[in-house]
Every structure is written in structure tokens, then in C-alpha cells.
Amino acid sequence: MAVSKERKNEIITEYTAWLNKSRAMVLVEYKGLTMGQLDELRGKMREVGGEFHVVKNTLGKRAFREYGLPIPEGYFEDSTAIGFAFEDVAAVAKTITGFARTAEFFKIKGGYLGNQPVDSAGIRDLAELPPLPVMRARLLGTLMAPASQLARLLAEPARQLAAVVKAHADQGAVPNTA
């Protein structure tokens, strides 16, 4: 049964809304997967702040063009599904690449980081990044290191003076046997 023009426009609007909310997208070929496997992946994606949707190629192309994204060769061929990263890009990439290792027919086509196309190797590289909380902790540690060093540097003379006073007090407390 053919989809009406009005319904197609609704679908494109829905795709565009996902593109607006998403920080990154991963396009995959899912041919040969069961509904159970797709549902399992959808659940894993929701856990990491993303969504996974099967898209119609012609409508997906139209939505991506209307949004202003370049469409590399092969992105909207065969069966296409898209993983949308609404929160943690690395976690979504890690979830999809991990699923690709376990599913025989699941193939990563490529994706987008922001508005820039990324090939399948780039998606695998994204998956190797640490999770967002770890990246934030590392950045905070890097930013705090100079302040910590300065605090230690400023406290060192007082610590040395306290050590001298303590040593002198300890020396005075020892009975004089001479």
C-alpha cells in the first residue's frame, strides 16, 4: 500500500526532529536481523541516551538534504537504520559497534559527527573513546593540576617552618645529660 504525500511529509518532519536533537548519527545496514535483535539494540541505545530507528531510504535522503547534510555514497542503499546520539556520542558508537561484532548481518555504513560525515572506521574510533563522565573527569584533572601545584608551592615554606619549629621543640624536650 502506497504512503500518502501527507504521511511522507510527516515522516520527513519526524526524521528532521531526530536530526535536530542528535549530536551524532550512525547509519547501519540491518538486513537479516530479527525483530528480537532490533528490539534488543533499541533497548541498549535507550540506556546510553540514544535511539535506533529503521528509516525509509528515499525519505531519509530527503530529510538529510533538507537539513543540509551531505550524503556520501552508499549511506542510503539497501536496508538502512540510524542510531541517534542525543547525549553521549561515544556510548552510542560503542553500543552499535559492539552489537555489530555479535550480529553477522549488521554492518556499519558510516555516520555523522555534528554535521560532518564520518566513515565506518571513524565510527569505530569514536567507540574507542572513554565515556563522557570519564572524559569530563580527565579534563577537570588537567585544568586543576596547575592550581594544585600552585597551592602546594605556596604551602611548602610554611610546612618547612613548622617542621623546623617542631624539631626545635622536640630537641628542647629531650633532657640535657651533659
10-residue mean pLDDT profile of the chain (178 residues): values are 83 92 93 89 93 93 92 90 92 92 87 91 85 79 79 81 84 60
pTM: 0.71
Q: How many CA atoms, within 13 angstroms, populate the side-chain half-sphere of residue 94?
A: 13
Query: What confidence score (pLDDT) does residue 19 get?
Result: 92
Query: Comparing C-alpha atoms, which of 137, 141, 130 is closest to residue 89?
Result: 130
Give the pLDDT of residue 88: 87
- How big is the chain by its Cα radius of gyration, in Å? 28
| pLDDT for res 175 | 56
8 Å CB contact between 94 and 50: no
CA–CA separation, 18 and 37 (whole Å): 22
Nearest partner of 127 among 104, 108, 106, 103, judged by Cα: 108
CA distance 122 to 114: 13
- pLDDT confidence of residue 21: 93
CA distance 142 to 147: 10
The half-sphere exposure of 60 on its side-chain side, counting CA atoms within 13 A, is 20
Identify the pLDDT of residue 173. Answer: 60
Q: According to the model, what pLDDT value does residue 110 have?
A: 92
